[in-house]
Amino acid sequence: MTFLAIVILSGMYSIVSAQQKAKEQKKEKKESFTRPEPQKPIQPTIPKENRYQDDKVFLENADSLYRPGHEFEERQIVKGDVQFRQGGLYMFCDSAYYWPTRNSMDAFGHVVMKQGDTLFVYADKLFYDGMSRHAVLISGPSQREVVMKNRSVTLTTDSLDYDVIQDLGWYSVGGKLVDGVNTLTSQYGQYSPSTKIADFRGDVVLINNKDGYRLTTEELTYNTATAVADINTETLIEGKTDTIITTQGWYNTKTDNATLTARSTILHRDSAGNVITLEGDSLIYDKLNHLSQAFMFSHPNRRPRPMVLTDTARKMQLVGGYGRYNDLLQEALATDYPLLIEYSRPDTLFLRADTIFTFQRTEKVWPDSLAHNWSKETRERLYAYGSLEDMVDIMVESLMLLPSYVVRPGEAARLLGFDDVAIFAPKGGTVTEETPPLPEPDEILPTEGIIENIEMTDSALSHDEIDEERLKAIQDSLERIRPKIDKLGRDSAYMVDQNYHAAKAIGKARFFKSDLQGIADTILYHQYDSMLYLQRKPVVWSEERQIFGDTIKVHLIDSVADWAHLPVGGMVIEHIDEDFYNQLSGSEIKALLRDSQLDHLIVNGNVETIFLPMENDSTYNKLVHAESSFLTVDMDGKEMKRLKMWPEVEGTVSPLFMVKKNDEKFLRGFKWLELLRPRRKWYGDKVKWEDELGDVPDELIEYFQQE
């Protein structure tokens, strides 16, 4: 059986082999030629139609194309140097799925979108709908970030949507825009290459590439062509020295200038770390010119509020309808009837005028090493010198080192024939604990008239007897040496510059403190000498006393007045009872104060007074009218302790019941100006002037209009 099966199988194999051999012989007989090899790569056939149509996506190039035959909708799989086009938009990739009937494609690997010669988008994947012309680009292995480039603008993110029709790209997973001027980051952002407008939302941060300014907000519109940021929500702009807080406005990041149209604040920090803030309904910030301006605007939906400038170092506020501040010069100006508030002490000072100007004044001062308080021994030694000659005599060794043309003060005096000017206490003076201190360091010797104003003695040598060159050397030496030495023997060459605060109130100025009030057309304050100058029709009140004149000078120590001076005359008035007043006038008046109370009064020239002396029973029954050349008054609290008039006194004493006419009770020029006295009233825990901001009492206007 086995053998039989083998025989049968062998026969069947022989029959199949013979049939196959016959087929091959038949085929070879039909194709008798050899097929040639292709001469160039096979390319898809391009239809003969307009390939610049905006409504169709065309496949421009691919190394290979495959179309699965079993799919219902035509889909082409293309690979190698793939290029698509829709109108003027070109898309490149390594491979893609292409649906010709619906103008869509999915591209993969080294994706590039190009429109014109200015817009380029790079990604790893692209999903493009040609009907809506909307693209979704995603990062991946071949492109770690999606990058959109438009000239100098670069936008990077992980995923980007791009609408070709609107020419608008946006991200919602965090991204960054860089334009050469700024770097902006946010959670959501969109950018239009055609309009150059970018919108950002969520944790928006703008950093200026030039000077490091940092803007943080929740929403921001930014123009890449102008580098201007449009602010519409709470925003913080921080620089090295300035900070801006605002909710609305424009910020030019090229110039660092800003226009802020809502209530905003600018903080300026100086080199010492002091902060000056400027707040207003509207602000203009000009960094290049170091100028900030603040305005108060009426708004239908908001209550207008004045601008406020606060100097934290000097504890000062400046309030008004308009204000500006120069942070380079540290100058401030306020108008629209401003108010200055100085709160360095519990008794706050209020000052008003048409215009208030604060500024820095630079003065020469001694450094700390030369400005300290001198000991008793040092003062005793310095008081022992009668002149600079005495001081120089103990410095022989030092003088020997000077050039020959520098003349010793003693030699100069002997050559010119006069005694040197004594500038110290008499020789041999003894210093005790009660001895007053030496003059202040800023009392420098006069610099003019050193030789010309000194009278020559009989023994003086004539100019013919003195060598002219030698005389000139002496004069030059004196000019160089003498003015530089003060009464403590210090050379002014060692003095250094120091800035001091100053303020000027112009036009219907008036100030208020609980213990002192005053008005003047112009008020000037200098921190350097702690002086307050009241000019043109000034009046000062303290309790029941009133002082007025052409000019009033007030000296302050820690914002408390310690003396007042009327250099060209004036009048001091004290209200006693009903229409009776103590009155005093003269050519020059100086009042010394202690604890804000009058302590000593000095009047020089043309003294005239009317006063009511208090009797032992604290009553008044006579009126004294007296005239003299000089007068002094010593006070003990509110009571007169001593009054002295000299050299001659003329006057009358009249019982009060005999004083009938008003002109007998008042000096010439008497004016009791209580209606003009600045006042305040309280409401809640705040203090304000009796008139509202911007209102000026009619009486005050009329007073300053009078000649």
Per-residue pLDDT of 212-242, as tens digits, reads 899 999 999 999 999 999 999 999 999 988 9
Distances from the Cα of 256 to the Cα of 101, 207, 263, 287, angstroms: 53, 12, 19, 6
Q: Which of 155, 161, 160, 100 is nearest to 134 (CA)?
A: 161
Alpha-carbon distance of 105 to 506, in angstroms, equals: 76
- Encode 578-591: b = buried (16+ Cβ within 10 Å), e = exposed: eebbbbbbbebbbb
Write down the CATH number for the domain with range 49-144: 2.60.450.10
Alpha-carbon distance of 395 to 385, in angstroms, equals: 13
Digit-coded pLDDT (tens) for 320-339: 889 999 998 889 999 988 88
Residue 426 has pLDDT above 70, yes or no: no
For 298, half-sphere exposure in the C-beta direction (CA atoms, 13 angstrom radius) is 1
Residue 393 parent element (H or E):
helix 388-393
Q: Higher pLDDT residue, 703 or 636?
A: 703
What pLDDT, on a 0 to 100 scale, did the predictor assign at position 542?
85
What pLDDT, on a 0 to 100 scale, did the predictor assign at position 412?
47
What pLDDT, on a 0 to 100 scale, did the predictor assign at position 559?
72
For residue 413, the 8-state DSSP code is: H
Report the DSSP pairing between strands 214-223 and 188-192.
unpaired
Alpha-carbon distance of 588 to 631, in angstroms, equals: 10
**Rounded mean pLDDT of 193-204?**
95
CB 367 within 8 A of CB 494: yes
Which amino acid, 411?
E
**Rounded mean pLDDT of 566-576?**
90
Dihedral of the alpha carbons of 239, 245, 251, 254, in degrees to the nearest 10: 0
Residue 457 has pLDDT above 90, yes or no: no
Highest mean pLDDT range out of 280-294, 374-388, 438-452, 657-671? 280-294
Please list, in sequence order, all residues whose beta carbon lies within 8 angstroms of the beta carbon of residue 380, skipping any fewer than 6 positions away.
Answer: 430, 431
Digit-coded pLDDT (tens) for 593-617: 887 778 888 999 999 998 888 887 8
Q: Higher pLDDT residue, 455 or 621?
A: 621
Residue 32 has pLDDT above 60, yes or no: no
- Integer Rg of the chain from CA: 48
Q: Higher pLDDT residue, 375 or 541?
A: 541
505: three-class secondary structure by DSSP: strand
**Rounded mean pLDDT of 357-377?**
74
What pLDDT, on a 0 to 100 scale, did the predictor assign at position 490?
66
* Residue with tokens 């919108």, as numbered in its chain: 199
35: three-class secondary structure by DSSP: coil
What pLDDT, on a 0 to 100 scale, did the predictor assign at position 334?
93
Residue 450 has pLDDT above 50, yes or no: no
Helix intervals (H) in 434-485: 468-481
Digit-coded pLDDT (tens) for 56-114: 898 999 999 898 877 788 889 999 999 999 988 999 999 999 998 888 999 999 999 99
**Band of pLDDT at residue 383, cut at 50, 70 and 90:** low
| Domain extents in the chain | 49-144, 375-494, 552-676
What pLDDT, on a 0 to 100 scale, did the predictor assign at position 478?
55
**Band of pLDDT at residue 535, cut at 50, 70 and 90:** very high
What pLDDT, on a 0 to 100 scale, did the predictor assign at position 306?
85
What pLDDT, on a 0 to 100 scale, did the predictor assign at position 458?
37
Alpha-carbon distance of 510 to 351, in angstroms, equals: 6
Separation of CA 555 from chain center: 30
Helix axes 409-416, 468-481, angle to 10 degrees: 130
Alpha-carbon distance of 342 to 558, in angstroms, equals: 12
Residue 10 parent element (H or E):
helix 2-30
What pLDDT, on a 0 to 100 scale, did the predictor assign at position 387?
62
Percentage of the chain lying above the pLDDT 90 cut: 39
Average pLDDT, the chain: 79
